[in-house]
Each structure stands twice: as C-alpha cells, then as structure tokens.
C-alpha cells in the first residue's frame, strides 16, 4: 500500500514537473489552448460550486466571466503598475460581491425561475457593457493591456502560462478543500434536502448567497485571466451561448465534482478548438452531448470514473 | 420549569384547522409521546417547533427561550434536533458525511479557513470524525460509515437519521414515527436505543409514533391529539383507560399493548 502511495506521489511530482516544463517544447498554439483549459476549468469549478454542489442552476455565468474580464481590463489600463495578482483579486472580489447580490433575489425562487433570473442577469450584463461605452468601449471591444509583475511583462502565451496555471492549480486545491469541509458539506446538504439542512442548523439564505458569491469569485478570476489570455475582449465573448457551454461542461464532466469540472472544461474547450472551423457542428455536438449525459450519465464522466474505481475491478468478487 | 412548553398553539392551512389551542409541557429527561389518528396534527406540531411552519396563535418556550418565531436554523442552534417521517437524509452522501453535517452548528470553519485547510480546521475535522465514530458505536452503525445512504436498507437509514440528529448534541430529540416500516426485531432494537438516548445521553425525547407497543413501552407521558385538538394527556396507564382516547383512536389495540 505505502509503495503504491509513494508511486502515486512520485507520478504526481513528475507529472507536475513535466507540465511546467512543457511550454519549452510545446507550440504557441498548444500553450494557448492549455491556458484556456485552465481558465475554463476555473469557470467550471465556480459554476459547479453553485449548481452541482448547492443545486442552484445558473444560466448566466458568462455574465460573471464578463465582469471579471472587464474589471481586469479596465483596472490594468488605468493602473497597469499594479501587480496582476492584486488586479485579479479585485476583479474576483467585485464579481463575487455581485454574485452574492444576485444570490439574494434567488433565495425566494426555485428551479426554472432561478434559471430565468440568472439567464436575464447574463443578458443584462452584456447589454450594460455594450451601452456603457465610455468605460468599456462598447461594441468596439476592449484591448487589454499586458499584465506586468515587478517589471516582468506577460506578453506571450508562454509567459502567461506561468501566471494562469499556478493560479488555477491553487484555486482548484482550495475548492477541493472547501467542498470537503464544513461549508462544502452545507452546500451539498442544501442540494439534497433543504428541510433537513435547516433543521440541522444550516442557514439556507446565508449558504445560498455564499455559494453564489464564491462561484462568482471563481468565475471573476477566470474572467480576468481570460482577458489577459485573449488580449482583446468584446461583449460578444460573453453571450448566452457561452453560459450554456459552461453548463454543458459540468454536466458532461460531472456535477458536484471538482475533477469533473476540469474534465468537462478540457473536453468542451478541446472540441471547440478542434472544430473551430465548424461552429454550427460544435453547437450541435454540445447540444446532443448535453441531452445524452443528462439522461444516461447524470453523474458525468467523473461519475463513471468513480463508479469504476469503487466497484468496477472488484465487482465480480462482491457479487 | 419544563424543557419544552407548548401553549395554546393554533394553525390553519387554508380553511382547515390543523391545530386548535394545543398545549403540553415536556419535562427534562422524559420521553413524551404525541399520538393520534392520521391527520391529527402531530407532525404539524413538530414543524411548528422547528420553525418550518409559523403558528397563527400560541407560544413555544424551549429551555427558557421563546422560539415561536425563530427560523429553523436558529431553533436547531438552541438544541432541537429531529428525524422525519419520510426519511430526509442526504442520500448522495455517505453515512459519515451525513453525521458531519449534523455537527454543523458545533463546527466553525468557513470558506477561507476551510479552503486553506488551516491547522485548526484539520483539528476540528479530525475531532468531528472521532465524535461521529462515537455515535456510530452507540447506534451500531460503525460498519456502514463509508456507505452511501441511498445504498442502505430502510431500517439502517432510520438509524442514520438518528445519528445525524444526535451529532447536533441536542437537548431535545424529536422523532417522527421512527418505527414506521421496521420489522418487529428492528422495532425492539429501536426501543432500546431510544431508551438509551434518554438514559445514557440524557436527551429528552419527543416522540410521534403509531406503533402502540413502542409508545406504551417507552413513554413517561402521552398526549393524544384528535383533529388538531388535545383530547387527553397522562401516563401510558391513564391513556389506555381514558374513555375518549379509546373511543377516538386506540380502540382494540389497547388490549394488545
């Protein structure tokens, strides 16, 4: 057993080392895609916290991504001397605060009504960005200045790799810890039985708004990294279809699973880029995949992996 | 002073009066049962105590505090825990995780401290698991601690729900038909458990139950509801002899019990 644990650890360390030297031999495009994987993994984790774990559907997460991206872009253009880590924090906290605020009207709602409110939120945010052109440059889009950390300019995908990947890894570990401790258990409890949760002392209002705030924080940070990676953002980058893609990510990857969030983000972003010439086919594939997974594999790919790990190899013996 | 004092409680659902002027006192350390035919208002009493329903009139004092208008999570914080008639477990979680949720009010980690897994959070989580193990020992659930609740038979689930409630270290435990759907052997075990919850853990028990053998065998005091009204209260012996009770509800079953 301990040999096995040691082996796993060694494997993880080697994988990490390999991962962080990979920009040395990967193409510029491959690094760019890896960065997008990480950014969307953060979005998917964020969405999963509120939707998979707490059971509150959000169909407007592109709105949070937009808030994070635009606040990062604007902050960097007016105060470019600030460390990107500070800028990203501000962007994340601002988005989180707005998410927390959106959580309040949602407290009184259930199911489909939550979908409608969040959907409307996403639409309103892109509309605000479009109209508030003195700040956002509206339809023209926003050219995002390069992030500068202590004189080091993140002016290539390779350099951004070393900003985006560590942040994603740290935030993934934090999310994993959250879902395994008191707050995460409260989220999951709410998803499964509100009545039992509140009679066990869980303040539903507090935890639902917290879930929305935390989810928005993750998505806001992802938005900031997105702005840096894309170098140009426009309201169109955050339309309703993007929110639906995010839902597809966690449904396919696995609701209520951090690993699933990452898997879903990687698969969908991968397909998107593989089929970038055929956007219509993409939408078709996502749509069909969403339906198939919801019906036949509600636990997503991570659910399959878990089932296989728990029962698969030993199933014959136990029966 | 009684631990729980329910005074002149009334509630209507639409035109239906579910409870009318219902009053009873539960003394510390006793097993107190609410009985009555289906629709008598027993579970409604639980839901009002919990703060899930708001009473139209009346007052509930618990341990010296007026809890009539408190939200459910605040009632829980004062030391009220319950189980449900139709089991309300977190079915996609393991038995252990359910019991850890039960300890929610006694743990203090938040998003940041939990996310960073600070030292005190690690200590707290470790302690919470030790306490959960004690509860599993007490209720005979040790073998099931890592099982998903949805994989367990009904009888075990009933006990898991009790474990989750006990994890909150309540002063009073409200049990809503714990013997429902249990076979005679499981019912025997359940009765012993409830008795030990009172005697070993010093927790007061408020019981709603249809199984008269359970009610008569365990209760110190029984309150009988009929169409939302209290028609009798007394010791098991008194209740069995009470003419209105026999007439309204117990009928022949008194002879068997």
8 Å CB contact of B110 and A177: no
Q: Is residue A274 part of a domain?
A: no
Q: What is the largest CA-CA distance in chain B?
A: 64
Q: How far is Cα B31 from Cα B29, in angstroms, rounded to an integer?
A: 7
Give the residue ranges of DSSP H helices in chain A. Answer: 2-21, 28-48, 61-78, 84-106, 111-131, 133-136, 157-180, 182-192, 194-199, 204-230, 240-253, 258-274, 279-296, 300-310, 315-318
Using a 10 angstrom Cβ sphere, with 0-12 exposed, 13-18 middle and 19 or more buried, the burial of residue A217 is buried
Secondary structure (3-state) at B40: coil
B127 touching A (Cβ < 8 Å): no
Distances (CA, A) of B192 to A218, B32, B160: 50, 16, 16
B110 touching A (Cβ < 8 Å): yes
Question: Which residues 189-218 on chain B approach chain A with CB closer than 8 angstroms?
Answer: none
B129 touching A (Cβ < 8 Å): no
* Closest partner CB to B104 (pick from A178, A193, A202): A202
Using a 10 angstrom Cβ sphere, with 0-12 exposed, 13-18 middle and 19 or more buried, the burial of residue A146 is middle
Tens of pLDDT along chain B (257 residues) come to: 899 999 999 999 988 899 999 999 999 999 999 999 888 899 999 999 999 999 999 999 999 999 999 999 999 999 999 999 999 999 999 999 999 999 999 999 999 999 999 999 999 999 999 999 999 999 999 999 999 999 999 999 999 999 999 999 999 999 999 999 899 999 999 999 999 999 999 999 999 999 999 999 999 999 999 989 999 999 999 998 888 887 776 554 444 44
Secondary structure (3-state) at A243: helix
* Closest partner CB to A182 (pick from B73, B93, B104): B104
Q: How far is Cα A226 from Cα B75, in angstroms, rounded to an integer?
A: 45
Distances (CA, A) of A102 to A53, A91, A108, A119, B158: 18, 16, 12, 12, 38
Q: What is the dihedral of CA B204, B205, B206, B208, to 10 degrees?
A: 180
Q: How far is Cα A109 from Cα A187, in angstroms, rounded to an integer?
A: 17
Q: How far is Cα B210 from Cα A51, in angstroms, rounded to an integer?
A: 39
How would you classify the pairing of strands B204-208 and B172-176? parallel
- Residue A67 pLDDT > 60: yes
8 Å CB contact of A198 and B73: yes
Contact (Cβ atoms closer than 8 angstroms) between residue A264 and residue A252: yes
The architecture of the domain spanning B4-250 is 3-Layer(aba) Sandwich (3.40)
Contact (Cβ atoms closer than 8 angstroms) between residue A63 and residue A188: no
8 Å CB contact of A200 and B77: no
Domain range annotation of chain B: 4-250
pLDDT tens for residues A110-138?
888 999 999 999 999 999 999 998 999 98
Q: How far is Cα A152 from Cα A145, in angstroms, rounded to an integer?
A: 13
Query: E strand or H helix at B224, and its extent?
Result: strand B221-226
Query: E strand or H helix at B175, and its extent?
Result: strand B172-176
The token duo for A229 is: 């990676």
**Model-level pTM?**
0.91
- Residue A80 pLDDT > 80: yes
B100 touching A (Cβ < 8 Å): yes
- Which of residues A38 and B16 earns the better pLDDT score? A38
8 Å CB contact of A185 and B104: yes
> Which residues sit opposite B189 in a β-bridge?
none
pLDDT tens for residues B9-60?
999 998 889 999 999 999 999 999 999 988 889 999 999 999 999 999 999 9
8 Å CB contact of B168 and A177: no
Write down the ipTM of this complex.
0.92
> Which residues sit opposite B206 in a β-bridge?
B32, B174
Q: Is residue A163 part of a domain?
A: yes
Q: Residue A119's domain spans which residues?
A: 25-239
Q: Is residue A232 part of a domain?
A: yes
Nearest CA distance, A196 vs chain B (angstrom): 6
8 Å CB contact of B52 and A197: no
What total of structural domains would you count in chain A? Answer: 1
pLDDT confidence tier of residue A2, bands split at 50, 70 and 90:
low
- Residue A317 pLDDT > 70: no
Q: Is residue A195 part of a domain?
A: yes
Q: How far is Cα B114 from Cα A183, in angstroms, rounded to an integer?
A: 8
Contact (Cβ atoms closer than 8 angstroms) between residue B42 and residue B49: no
What percentage of chain A carries pLDDT values higher than 70? Answer: 96
Q: How far is Cα B90 from Cα B87, in angstroms, rounded to an integer?
A: 9
State residue A4's pLDDT score. Answer: 74
Q: Is residue A304 part of a domain?
A: no
Q: Is residue A308 part of a domain?
A: no
Q: Is residue A179 part of a domain?
A: yes
State residue A274's pLDDT score. Answer: 87
> Which chain A residues contact residue B54 at CB under 8 A?
none
Distances (CA, A) of B147 to A309, B138, B160, B193, B234: 15, 18, 11, 21, 42
């Amino acid at each position: 057993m301990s040999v096995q644990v040691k082996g796993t650890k060694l494997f993880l360390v080697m994988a990490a080392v390999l991962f962080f030297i990979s920009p040395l031999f990967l193409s510029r495009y491959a690094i760019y895609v890896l960065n997008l994987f990480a950014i969307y993994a953060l979005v998917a984790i964020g969405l999963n916290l509120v939707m998979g774990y707490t059971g509150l559907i959000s169909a407007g997460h592109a709105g949070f991504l937009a808030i994070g991206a635009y606040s990062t872009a604007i902050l960097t253009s007016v105060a470019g001397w600030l460390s990107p880590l500070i800028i990203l924090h501000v962007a994340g906290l601002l988005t989180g605060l707005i998410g927390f605020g959106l959580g309040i009207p949602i407290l009184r709602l259930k199911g489909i009504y939550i979908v409608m409110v969040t959907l409307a939120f996403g639409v309103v945010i892109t509309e605000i960005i479009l109209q508030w052109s003195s700040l956002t440059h509206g339809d023209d889009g926003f050219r995002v200045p390069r992030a500068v950390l202590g004189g080091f300019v993140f002016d290539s995908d390779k350099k951004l790799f070393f900003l985006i990947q560590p942040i994603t890894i740290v935030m993934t570990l934090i999310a994993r810890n959250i879902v395994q401790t008191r707050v995460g258990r409260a989220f999951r409890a709410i998803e499964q039985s509100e009545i039992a949760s509140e009679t066990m002392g869980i303040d539903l209002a507090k935890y639902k708004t917290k879930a929305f705030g935390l989810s928005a924080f993750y998505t806001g940070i992802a938005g900031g990294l997105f702005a840096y990676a894309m170098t140009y953002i426009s309201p169109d980058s955050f339309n309703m279809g993007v929110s639906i893609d995010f839902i597809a990510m966690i449904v396919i990857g696995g609701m209520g699973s951090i690993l699933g969030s990452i898997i879903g983000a990687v698969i969908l972003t991968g397909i998107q880029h593989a089929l970038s010439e055929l956007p219509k086919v993409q939408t078709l594939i996502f749509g069909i995949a969403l339906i198939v997974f919801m019906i036949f594999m509600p636990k997503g790919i991570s659910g399959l992996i878990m089932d296989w790990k728990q029962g698969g190899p030993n199933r014959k013996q136990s029966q | 002073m009684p631990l729980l004092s329910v005074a002149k409680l009334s509630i209507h659902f639409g035109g239906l009066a579910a409870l009318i002027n219902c009053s009873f006192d539960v003394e510390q350390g006793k097993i107190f049962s609410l009985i009555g035919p289906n629709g008598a208002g027993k579970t409604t009493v639980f839901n009002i105590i919990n703060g899930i329903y708001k009473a139209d009139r009346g007052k509930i004092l618990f341990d010296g505090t007026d809890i009539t208008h408190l939200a459910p999570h605040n009632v829980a914080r004062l030391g009220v825990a319950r189980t449900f008639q139709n089991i309300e477990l977190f079915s996609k979680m393991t038995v252990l995780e359910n019991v850890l949720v039960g300890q929610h009010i006694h743990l203090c980690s938040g998003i940041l401290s939990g996310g960073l897994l600070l030292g005190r959070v690690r200590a707290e989580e470790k302690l919470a698991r030790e306490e959960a193990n004690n509860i599993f020992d007490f209720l005979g659930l040790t073998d099931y601690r890592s099982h998903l609740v949805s994989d367990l038979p009904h009888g075990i689930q009933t006990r898991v729900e009790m474990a989750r409630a006990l994890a909150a270290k309540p002063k009073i435990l409200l049990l809503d038909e714990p013997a429902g759907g249990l076979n005679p052997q499981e019912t025997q075990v359940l009765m012993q458990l409830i008795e030990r919850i009172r005697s070993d853990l010093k927790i007061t028990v408020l019981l709603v139950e249809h199984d008269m053998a359970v009610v008569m065998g365990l209760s110190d005091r029984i309150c009988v509801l009929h169409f939302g009204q209290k028609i009798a209260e007394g010791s098991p012996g008194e209740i069995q002899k009470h003419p209105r009770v026999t007439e309204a509800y117990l009928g022949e079953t008194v002879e068997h019990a």
